[in-house]
Amino acid sequence: MIPFNKPFLSGKELEYIRDAVNSGKISGDGIFAQKCHRFFEEKYGFKKCLLTTSCTDALEMAALLINIQPGDEVIMPSYTFVSTANAFVLRGAAIVFADSSEDSPNLDVNAIEALITPKTKAIVPVHYAGMACQMDKIMDLANKYSLWVIEDAAQAIDSFYKDKPLGSIGHLAAFSFHETKNIISGEGGMLVVNDPALIERAEIIREKGTNRSAFFRGDVNKYGWVDIGSSFLPSEIIAAFLYAQLEQLEDIQKRRNYLWQRYWTGLEKIACASGVRLPKTIEGTTNNAHMFYLVCKDLQQRTTLLKLLKEAGVLAVFHYLSLHSSEFFKHKYKGGELYWSDFYTDRLVRLPLYYELTNTDQDYIIDNIINILSH
């Protein structure tokens, strides 16, 4: 079976983990965590980076930082992972789901303004497949209505919108290093703080509500409990693994982009002939090759495609189920039909894409898709 994903060791992960253990400190914010922070801050210009145990934790930190209270409204796409919503539901927020756009699973920016009320506190755009939302329009709305913008950039490392790195545009951003992402640490994530006014409190929340980080820098002579917070720091073992991956970022991205382009070239003709859509970026954005997906013409075509690919030894998978119609939320949802979110729920297929996918295996996948869609 050709798997959907395969975690990749880029070279020095085990060596750096050994170094972390030998350093005598593996509990978090050690040498490798600091190296990871500097890497992102210097390469992408993020104001402040803080590694977390997951992207979910980074989103939960963001909700705490902007003081989400019961009754506050947060606008986000319905077509996203549950963590995007859970982070704010846990603080008592009312989730206001926006539809996806016709062109991509990203939220329809033209639908946002009609959803804004006096209770709206934040907009959470999700850069699906590492492809940027229309951030200029989102930031214009945020400025007009004095709203926070939190970029869910879980899939968006090394992707850009009008020459700006994704994660650098909103007030806050959350990244994932889950094993399915371009750069991995098994589990792991990162909060990016672009608003300088939030940096000090972000450190406190991340350190269980204490000013421990300031103490270790020598800014205070003792530390104590000064705010709410939790334990969001990853171990130094996770940071060591991650830093080895970051050292090979360019190589990993080069290979993934090469494979992504081979899918596009190999499937463009059959997609046009069979009514299947391929992913496309909006003007002024880049593609970080996080994912290659197909959008089938209907649910039946997708079901057949997944079934026959599996029988041929290829594990392709569908993706999100619209959150507004989920078991948890469907009785709480009071909005209208979200046509495009449900459209992608029923039709989207993700193909295997990972560093060690060979050209031969990829050709086999492409050939099988062409054969299936031709009949």
Window from 183-192, 220-229, 235-244 with minimum mean pLDDT? 220-229
Q: Is 5 among the domain residues?
A: no
Whether 55 contacts 154, CB under 8 Å: yes
3-state secondary structure of 74: strand
Same domain, 321 and 228: no
End-to-end alpha carbon distance in the chain: 23
Q: Is 221 among the domain residues?
A: yes
- Domain stops at, among 201, 228, 247: 247
Q: Say which residue the tokens 């993020």 belong to.
A: 46
Amino acid at position 340, single letter: W
Q: Which residue range forms the structural domain that includes residue 275?
A: 249-373
Same domain, 206 and 222: yes
Same domain, 93 and 224: yes
| CATH number (domain holding residue 54) | 3.40.640.10
Cβ neighbours around 221 below 10 Å, total = 6
Query: What is the rounded distance in angstroms from the CA atom of residue 233 to the CA atom of residue 217?
Result: 17
Of 140, 142, 90, 139, nearest to 116 (Cα)?
Answer: 142
Q: Using the predicted structure, report yes or no on whether residue 219 has a pLDDT greater than 80.
A: no
pLDDT, tens digit, for every residue of 4-15? 999 999 999 999
Whether 121 contacts 143, CB under 8 Å: no
Same domain, 25 and 141: yes
pLDDT, tens digit, for every residue of 263-310? 999 999 999 999 999 998 888 999 999 999 999 999 999 999 999 999
Amino acid 218: pLDDT: 74
Same domain, 238 and 257: no
Same domain, 242 and 270: no
Radius of gyration in angstroms for the set of CA atoms belonging to the chain, rounded to a whole number: 21
- Domain stops at, among 226, 247, 268: 247
Amino acid 150: pLDDT: 98
Same domain, 108 and 159: yes
pLDDT, tens digit, for every residue of 88-137? 999 999 999 999 999 999 999 999 999 999 999 999 999 999 999 999 99
Q: Using the predicted structure, report yes or no on whether residue 224 has a pLDDT greater than 90.
A: no
3-state helix, strand, coil in the chain (%, to 5): 40, 15, 45
Q: Say how many residues make up the chain.
A: 375
3-state secondary structure of 357: coil
Average pLDDT value over all residues in the chain: 96
| CATH number (domain holding residue 325) | 3.90.1150.10
Same domain, 315 and 363: yes
pLDDT, tens digit, for every residue of 152-178? 999 999 999 999 999 999 999 999 999
Structural domain count, the chain: 2
Query: What is the rounded distance in angstroms from the CA atom of residue 4 to the CA atom of residue 1?
Result: 9
pLDDT, tens digit, for every residue of 316-329? 999 999 999 999 99
The helix (H) or strand (E) run that includes residue 123 is strand 120-123
Amino acid at position 268, single letter: E
